[in-house]
Amino acid sequence: MIPYATIEEASIALGRNLTRLETLWFDYSATKSDYYLYCHNILFLFLVFSLVPLPLVFVELARSASGWFNRYKIQPKVNYSLSDMFKCYKDVMTMFILVVGPLQLVSYPSIQMIEVRSGLPLPTITEILSQLVVYFLIEDYTNYWVHRFFHSKWGYDKIHRVHHEYTAPIGYAAPYAHWAEVLLLGIPTFMGPAIAPGHMITFWLWIALRQMEAIETHSGYDFPWSPTKYIPFYGGAEYHDYHHYVGGQSQSNFASVFTYCDYIYGTDKGYRFQKKLLEQIKESSKKGNKHNGGIKSD
């Protein structure tokens, strides 16, 4: 809760006038507890889980009906009906109500412990972006090792096999997992803010963006216009789709966001070999078509 009764008091304490955004934040949050603000994550996660994958539902239905977007589908032989995708969403919402929501409600003491702040001044754009980069890097590295544990025999059979029920992932399947996996993967997500705590707004953005990234990598589509194509070392949908395609036997492409861990620790060799093989097949096919096109019959 902001420790100022009025905007004037806040201005005196900061030694300057509040910016327009700070004024809006003061008007909204001044009388609300930090716990109440933290629990906004429940609403944000619900909206992200529900709305962000929705355009992919229409893409999948349009592709199945008319072949539109077929060139972007990573596993084009797999089709999902509306009922298939709605069932996945219902399963995710069940997990959200029983595990994710309650976890948010009871985890506030950890936010107090690491001192995520909710007052003034608001963080600058530079501060927000730099912290988000740190959060993504830390989460990616720690998630890599947790994910490798999930692909041990015990970890896969007891926990991770649930997530791999979708060998051709869809957007709604990003958070589809065993309850124990949901809890354990909260540790890498929390590590970044614990090491470099920031403002509550930065924390909100981090939680939302991380889930949006997971939905994109589970989309099942490799869209060439995606802005994430310009992020260095970003894995993306095609990269993670291979991991699901191989399934339980997969010892490749464990990274959640970037590709550097898989490269450093040699867990992308199968993916790189398959990709090189497919490129060779495509090149041979092109050469064959050109050769056949140049033959004239009498």
- Summarize pLDDT for 171-223 with one digit per residue, the tens: 999 999 999 999 999 999 999 999 999 999 999 999 999 999 999 999 999 99
Beta-carbon contacts of residue 30 (< 8 Å; ≥ 6 apart): 1, 2, 4
- pLDDT number for residue 296: 43
Residue 257 included in any domain: yes
Q: Are residues 234 and 171 in the same domain?
A: yes
Based on the domain organization, do 16 and 66 belong to the same domain?
no
Whole-Å CA distances, 137 to 45, 51, 134, 257: 21, 26, 5, 8
**Residue 123: what pLDDT?**
97
pLDDT at residue 289 tops 80 = no
Task: Give the model confidence (pLDDT) of 69-91 as tens digits.
Answer: 999 999 999 999 999 999 999 99
CA distance 247 to 262: 17
Alpha carbons 247 and 221: distance in angstroms, whole number? 18
The pLDDT of residue 2: 87
Residue 294 in this model has a pLDDT that exceeds 70: no
**Residue 123 C-beta-side C-alpha neighbours within 13 Å:** 20
Residue 126 lies in a domain: yes
Q: What percent of the chain has pLDDT over 70?
A: 95
Task: Report whether 60 contacts 178 (CB < 8 A).
Answer: no
Say how far apart CA 81 and CA 86 lie, in whole Å. 9
pLDDT of residue 248: 76
Q: Which domain holds residue 246?
A: 33-293
- Distance linking the first and last C-alpha atoms of the chain: 87
Q: What is the pLDDT of residues 48-76, one digit of tens each?
A: 999 999 999 999 999 999 989 999 999 99
Specify the number of domains making up the chain: 2
In this structure, the answer to whether residues 12 and 124 fall within a common structural domain is: no
Question: Which amino acid makes up residue 137?
Answer: L
pLDDT at residue 184, as a whole number: 97
Whether residue 211 is found in the same domain as residue 261: yes
Backbone phi, psi, residue 145, to 5°: -75, -35
pLDDT of 240 > 80? The answer is yes
pLDDT tops 70 at residue 264: yes
Mean residue pLDDT across the chain: 93
Examine the domain organization and report whether 207 and 282 are in the same domain: yes
Distances in Å between the Cα of 57 and the Cα atoms of 44, 86, 210 are 20, 9, 20
> Do both 11 and 102 map to the same domain?
no
Q: Are residues 18 and 155 in the same domain?
A: no
Do residues 37 and 107 touch, judged by C-beta distance below 8 A? no
Whether residues 64 and 152 fall in one domain: yes
Residue 142 shares a structural domain with residue 39: yes
Q: DSSP letter for 164, please.
A: G
User: Looking at the domain assignment, is residue 125 inside a domain?
Assistant: yes
Does 298 fall in a domain?
no
Beta bridge partners of 73: 221
149 shares its domain with 252: yes
Q: With 0-12 CB in 10 A as exposed, 13-18 as middle and 19+ as buried, what is 123?
A: middle
14 and 148 belong to one structural domain:
no
Global pTM value:
0.92
Residues 239 and 263 in one domain: yes
Cis before 121? omega within 30:
yes
Does some domain include residue 229?
A: yes
Query: Is there a domain that residue 284 lies in?
Result: yes
